[in-house]
C-alpha cells in the first residue's frame, strides 16, 4: 500500500537479499494500473480476494486504488532497470499488461507510442519468461488487444463485412492497431514457440491469453486518447450537464461493451481451463449501435443532453476502418463468454445510475 518512486525501488532492491532472504514474495503484476481498465481490474481482483497485486503506472495511483494493492510503483515500462528491480523482489506468477498509448494519442507520436506499446510489451514478456525460468512455473500473461487490429479499407467493405472473425482483415491503419497485432503475435510466440531450437528450452514458458476488446464504456472514468471515446464521452457530458460535439458521423457503427462486462470477460478468460482454449486471441462484443442510436438513448435518459455531430475527418476515417461488429463465437464456446449488458440494460442498470451518482457528488 505504498507508492514507490523508481529511486526507492532501486534502494529497496539493493538491500533485498539480506532483508528478504532467498524467497521472493509471490505477486500478480498489473501495468497501466491507473488507466480505465486498470481501475476496474484492480477492484475486481481485490474483491476476489487477491492480496498480491503489485501495480505500476506512469503516474501515482489515487488513494482508493493504492489501498487495494500490496505495493504500487510509479515508473515507465520502458525502463528495464525498474522491471529488473521488481524481478529481484517478487516471484511473479501472473501479469496483466494494460499499459499502452491509445489510438488517437498514438497518431500524434507514432514512434514514441511504438516504444511504449511494443517496447513495453517486449520488456514485460521478457520479464515473464525470466520469471518462469527462475521459479520453474508457467507465468500467465493477460493482454488486452483491440478491434483496432482490424482494417476494413473503406466504408463499403466495412458494411459488407458485418461481424468478422479473428483472422480476417488484419491490416490496421493506425500505429496502435499495428502495435496490437504485433504484440498479439509476440505473445503467441512466447507461449508456443519461444527458443524453439534451444537445447535447454522450457516448454510453454508463458500462458498467453488475449482479448480483443471493442470500445469500452465506463461509468467510473472518462476516456481520453482513444478513437472509440465518443460513446462514453457523450454519456458523461450529458450527466454533467455539458454540451457534447461528437467527432464521428451519426451513422457510424462499431462494437462496444460496458467496463464491468470487459473486466468479467478478462477474469473469466484468465481462469479458464487451458485445455478448453483453442486460440490465444479472442474477439468479444456486446452491442453495436450507431452513434445516432447511442445519442438517442442518452437523450432518453438525460432529456437536457445537448449533443451535436461535428465529425473530424481523420478520426472518422479510423472508426470507418474498424468493423461494424465482430464474431465472438470462439469466446462463447471455449470459455463461456456471456456479457451481462445489452445496450438497453447497459444504460438502465449500469451507466445511468452510476454516472448520475458520480456527477451528483461533484
Ligand atoms: N478504445 C481504443 C481506442 O479507441 C480501441 O480499442 O484507441
The number of the ligand 1 atom at minimal distance from the alpha carbon of 102 is: 7
Q: What radius of gyration, in Å, describes the C-alpha atoms of the chain?
A: 21
Query: Which residue's alpha carbon is nearest to atom 2 within ligand 1?
Result: 226
Neighbour-count burial for 175-189, b at 16+ CB within 10 Å, e otherwise: bbbbbbbbbbebbbe
Distance CA 228, CA 339 (A): 19
Probe residue for ligand 1, chosen from 228, 232, 256, 323 as the CB with the greatest number of ligand atoms within 8 Å: 228
Cα(101) to centroid(ligand 1), Å: 9
The number of the ligand 1 atom at minimal distance from the alpha carbon of 223 is: 1
Cα(149) to centroid(ligand 1), Å: 10
Q: Where are the domains of the chain?
A: 100-216+256-286+322-341
Distance CA 148, CA 103 (A): 8
Topology of domain 100-216+256-286+322-341, CATH: Rossmann fold (3.40.50)
Cα(199) to centroid(ligand 1), Å: 41
Cα(251) to centroid(ligand 1), Å: 19
pTM: 0.93
The number of the ligand 1 atom at minimal distance from the alpha carbon of 174 is: 7
DSSP structural state of residue 263: H
Q: Where are the beta strands (DSSP E) in the chain?
A: 3-4, 25-31, 53-57, 71-74, 90-97, 139-146, 163-164, 206-213, 215-217, 244-246, 256-258, 281-283, 307-309, 325-326
Probe residue for ligand 1, chosen from 98, 100, 102 as the CB with the greatest number of ligand atoms within 8 Å: 102
Q: Give the per-residue pLDDT at 212.
A: 98
Length of the chain: 362
Q: Which residue of the set 73, 90, 150, 176 is catalytic?
A: 176
* DSSP assignments along 34-91, one per residue: TSHHHHHHHHHHHHTT---EEEEESSPPPHHHHTTSSEEEE--TT-HHHHHHHHHHEE
The number of the ligand 1 atom at minimal distance from the alpha carbon of 176 is: 7
Cα(216) to centroid(ligand 1), Å: 8
Residues of the chain with pLDDT under 70: 1-22, 362
Within 6 Å (CB) of ligand 1, which residues are found? Answer: 102-103, 146-148, 176, 213, 215, 226-228
Q: Give the per-residue pLDDT at 8.
A: 37
Q: Give the per-residue pLDDT at 113.
A: 98
Active site residue 176: yes
Amino acid at each position: 500500500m505504498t507508492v514507490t518512486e523508481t529511486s526507492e525501488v532501486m534502494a529497496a532492491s539493493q538491500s533485498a537479499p539480506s532483508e528478504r532472504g532467498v524467497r521472493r514474495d509471490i505477486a500478480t503484476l498489473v501495468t497501466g494500473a491507473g488507466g480505465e481498465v486498470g481501475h476496474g481490474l484492480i477492484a475486481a481482483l481485490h474483491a476476489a480476494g487477491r492480496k498480491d497485486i503489485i501495480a505500476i503506472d506512469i503516474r501515482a495511483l489515487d488513494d482508493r486504488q493504492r489501498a487495494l494493492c500490496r505495493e504500487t510503483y510509479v515508473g515507465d515500462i520502458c525502463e528495464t532497470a525498474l522491471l529488473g528491480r521488481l524481478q529481484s523482489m517478487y516471484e511473479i506468477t501472473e501479469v496483466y499488461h494494460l499499459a499502452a498509448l491509445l489510438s488517437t494519442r498514438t497518431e500524434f507520436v507514432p514512434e514514441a507510442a511504438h516504444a511504449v506499446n511494443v517496447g513495453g510489451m517486449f520488456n514485460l514478456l521478457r520479464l515473464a519468461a525470466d520469471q518462469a525460468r527462475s521459479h520453474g512455473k508457467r507465468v500467465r500473461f493477460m493482454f488486452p488487444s483491440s478491434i483496432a487490429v482490424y482494417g476494413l479499407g473503406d466504408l463499403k467493405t466495412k458494411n459488407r463485412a458485418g461481424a468478422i472473425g479473428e483472422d480476417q482483415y488484419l491490416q490496421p491503419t493506425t500505429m496502435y492497431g499495428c502495435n496490437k497485432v504485433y504484440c498479439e503475435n509476440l505473445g503467441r510466440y512466447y507461449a508456443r514457440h519461444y527458443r524453439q531450437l534451444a537445447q535447454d528450452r522450457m516448454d510453454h514458458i508463458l500462458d498467453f491469453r488475449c482479448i480483443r476488446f471493442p470500445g469500452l464504456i465506463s461509468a467510473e472514468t472518462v476516456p481520453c486518447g482513444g478513437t472509440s471515446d465518443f460513446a462514453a464521452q457523450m454519456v458523461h457530458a450529458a450527466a454533467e450537464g455539458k454540451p457534447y460535439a461528437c467527432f464521428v458521423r451519426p451513422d457510424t457503427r462499431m462494437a462496444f461493451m460496458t467496463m464491468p462486462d470487459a473486466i468479467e470477460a478478462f477474469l473469466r478468460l484468465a481462469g479458464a481451463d487451458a485445455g478448453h482454449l483453442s486460440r490465444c486471441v479472442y474477439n468479444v462484443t456486446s452491442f453495436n449501435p450507431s452513434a445516432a442510436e447511442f445519442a438517442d438513448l442518452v437523450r432518453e435518459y438525460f432529456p437536457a443532453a445537448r449533443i451535436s455531430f461535428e465529425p473530424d475527418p481523420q478520426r472518422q476515417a479510423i472508426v470507418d476502418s474498424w468493423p461494424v461488429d465482430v464474431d465472438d463465437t470462439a469466446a462463447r464456446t471455449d470459455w463461456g463468454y456471456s456479457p451481462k449488458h445489452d445496450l438497453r440494460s447497459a444504460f438502465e442498470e449500469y451507466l445511468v445510475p452510476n454516472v448520475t451518482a458520480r456527477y451528483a457528488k461533484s
